[in-house]
Amino acid sequence: MSHPFTLSNGVTIPSPGFGTYLMPEEPATVDAIVQALRLGYRHIDTAYFYGNETCVGEAIRASGLPREEIFVTSKVWNTDRGYQPTLAAFEKTMTHLGLDYLDLYLIHWPAYADKYDNWEDINRETWRAMTELYQSGRVRAIGVSNFKPHHLKALLEGPVKPMVDQIELNPGWQQRETVAFCAQHDILIEAWSPLGRGRVLGHPLLAELGRKYSKTPAQICLRWCLDKGYLPLPKSVTPSRIRENLNIFDFALTPEDIARLDALPPFGESGRDPDNVPF
């Protein structure tokens, strides 16, 4: 089952996505992605930095599914920012994946003021390359990852606006300012670390709601994302959890329970600040 979203350019994106961060370049990763596709996932999220794009391509071919049924995302890494480097990075990504086109391409992290005097120009030039790839038809949609409103503003000046902002988001780290800005500009929020990597799942409210709905705390987090209009990107290599993370379509949280989760204080952040990333 799926809960598709429609991007501002009309492209449909399946949800939830299957995250692949920290999955190494090895047969077990191929097997996990194939398992996810066979269970019903139709959206695979990878990145050049993850080092597993080749595994993603192998899994897509091994699944036997038509290419057009699978939505594939990758990202340009920080060392490849800028116009020409981004174009070259895209070619490397496509070679690794072995695909003819990409569904979504993202800038992985923004250049930021504390590290670069010309950070806005760097982001603009990277976005210029992304726009060219989109307009050429080699990418169906483009966006960013980990951008805050002040990073996004410079990109809104161009002819093509970001369609996605993939940010760290879960009930314990809600990034309300970025979410509100993206809603104002019709930018879909994708949630990486929607389960808080364990920081969030032990909260008593998640346990209470899990008992109420006969679901796990992880499923409550993922359903909260969907009910809020965010696209979650859970990750697992464990078959039972891959299946569990997809089993979130037979219930919905009540407005009252959503409000209780919304009222949680910030406690689920990984500590990776887009204005001070150490890489």
What is the pLDDT at residue 197? 79
Instruction: Tell me the average pLDDT across 15-23.
Output: 97
Report percent pLDDT > 90 for the chain.
92
Report percent pLDDT > 70 for the chain.
99
What is the rounded average pLDDT for all residues in the chain?
Answer: 96
Q: Is the pLDDT of residue 125 over 80?
A: yes
Residue 255 burial (CB count, 10 A): 9
Instruction: Tell me the average pLDDT across 52-69.
Output: 98
Using one digit for the tens of pLDDT, what is the confidence trace for 185-224?
999 999 999 999 778 999 999 999 999 999 999 999 999 9
What is the pLDDT at residue 199? 86
Instruction: Tell me the average pLDDT across 150-163.
Output: 95
- Catalytic (active-site) positions: 50
Give me the phi and psi of 144, to 5 degrees please.
-135, 170
Residue 84: pLDDT band with limits 50, 70, 90: very high
What is the pLDDT at residue 279? 74
What is the pLDDT at residue 277? 81
Among 154-158, 213-217, 237-241, the range of highest mean pLDDT:
213-217
Instruction: Tell me the average pLDDT across 228-240.
Output: 95
Q: Is the pLDDT of residue 1 over 70?
A: no
Q: Is the pLDDT of residue 264 over 70?
A: yes
Measured CA to CA, the distance from residue 263 to residue 259 in angstroms comes to 6
What is the pLDDT at residue 30? 97
Q: Is the pLDDT of residue 114 over 90?
A: no
Using one digit for the tens of pLDDT, what is the confidence trace for 91-104?
999 999 999 999 99
Instruction: Tell me the average pLDDT across 156-164.
Output: 95
What is the pLDDT at residue 260? 98
What is the pLDDT at residue 116? 87
